[in-house]
Amino acid sequence: MKPAYAAAQGCGGILFFCGGCSVQAGIGYKLMTVLGIAALCGPMIAWIAWIAASAGRLDGTGAWSFVGWLGTFLIGIGLFNFVAILLKQYLGHLLSILCFLIGGGLVGLNLVFLL
């Protein structure tokens, strides 16, 4: 039994990225994939840029920076879950809420100890 959204995925997996895909996915799916990667990686990139920009005031090394990075990664997972709605691969409200709460808590905890 195949899921209903299998046809919209193209060939998926490693074949999609290596060019060996015989099924051509539409431009919309490719744009949604880029949007999903941006939603997942965007908070982490912003966090790393903020740490790098404030290197004179903050100690950007150590365990507390990792806690902040982990928090932004969880926030990225929550944002990616909203993009997954458009790809018909939504993982549920509970995952989004938990990712935002735990990720936000970790970022907040990190800011308390870094500032």
- Domain boundary assignment for the chain: 27-114
Residues in the chain: 115
Predicted pLDDT of residue 74:
93
Report residue 13 as tokens: 């997996």
- Could you read off the pLDDT of 46-103 as tens digits, one per residue? 888 887 777 666 665 667 778 888 999 999 999 988 888 877 777 788 889 999 999 9
User: How far, in Å, are 42, 54, 86 from residue 58 at the CA level?
Assistant: 21, 6, 38
Which of the four pLDDT bands, split at 50, 70 and 90, describes residue 110?
confident
Predicted pLDDT of residue 90:
78
Q: How many CB atoms lie within 10 A of CB 84?
A: 19
Q: How many CB atoms lie within 10 A of CB 114?
A: 17
Q: Read off the pTM.
A: 0.69
d(CA 104, CA 10): 34
Q: Is the pLDDT of residue 44 over 60?
A: yes
Which of the four pLDDT bands, split at 50, 70 and 90, describes residue 29?
confident
d(CA 10, CA 13): 9
Region 26-54: what's the mean pLDDT? 83
List all residues 6 or more positions away from 110 whose beta carbon is below 8 Å from its beta carbon.
Answer: 64, 65, 67, 68, 71
